[in-house]
Amino acid sequence: MAIHTLRRRFASLGTVLGLGVALPFAVGVTPAYAQAQLGITKTHSGDFPRGGQGTFTITVSNPGDEPTTLVGTRMTDTFPAGLTGTALAITQNSTGSGVGCFLNDPRTRVECETSGPIAPGGSYTVEVTIGVATDAPCTVTNTATVIDIDGGLSASASDTVNIPGPNCNGGNGGNGGNGNGTSILPISLNGLIPMFNNINTNNNINSPGASNTNNQNFRVNTP
């Protein structure tokens, strides 16, 4: 009877130890959920001068651990009023697929497509040269967007550019001031405040034996 009870206890202990050993291995073989991702950045350097040029740098990437879908990806960026695309160049491509970019006919938008998936960790970069109109706004913001054509993934990035000009002086004109590009100072006071001439100064004030009374002759300058 004692031997039978002891065997039952060892059997129970073996079951507990078996669960304790088997559980970590079961967790270890469970695969992680892998998926593709899309990322995009858009940057520029310095201000864009009116009548001059600037450059946008756009990078599309897949920071995920699976490739994007076989159909490929599409990036679009429509420029704000006052900006026109003049040239573009693909400066790097580690997607594992071909990349093609073009400017639309009025050169107000750039589009890029990959001919296949973007590999995990892969990316491409395109630089777009921009012509700036002489009457461009003081500040513009535009957004570049990338989608996985067949997979439902998307990402976007915005970039704000300052465009210096005579009406863009931080509050004294243009978008932030009185609208005519001129300072509100100096203000002409002619006709508002009378100006007085011929005011005689009494230098004997507080001098010993001197009188502190003086007659002042005033003449009003009228507009």
DSSP string for residues in the chain: -HHHHHHHHHHHHHHHHHHHHHHHHHHHTSPP------EEEEEE-S---TTSEEEEEEEEE--SSS---TT-EEEEEEPPTTEEEEEEEEEEE-SSS-EEEEE-TTS-EEEEEESSPPPTT-EEEEEEEEEE-TT--SEEEEEEEEEETTT--EEEEEEEEE---TT-SSSSSGGGSSSSS--S-SPP-TTTS-EEE-----TTTT-TT---------EEE--
Give the pLDDT mean for 30-53: 88
Q: What pLDDT score was predicted for residue 32?
A: 58
Asked if the model's pLDDT at residue 199 lies above 70, the reply is: no
Q: State the average pLDDT over residues 154-181.
A: 70
pLDDT score for 209? 54
Domain boundaries defined on the chain: 39-162
Torsion sign across C-alpha atoms 44, 46, 48, 53:
negative
Give the confidence band of 145 by pLDDT, cuts at 50, 70, 90. Answer: very high
Beta-sheet strand order (sheet of 99-103): 99-103, 109-114, 73-78, 139-148, 154-162
CATH 2.60.40.740 fits 39-162, yes or no: yes
User: Quick one: pLDDT band at residue 201, thresholds 50, 70, 90?
Assistant: very low
pTM: 0.64
Side-chain-facing half-sphere of 118: CA atoms under 13 Å = 34
Higher-pLDDT residue of 170, 16: 170
What does the pLDDT read at residue 33?
72
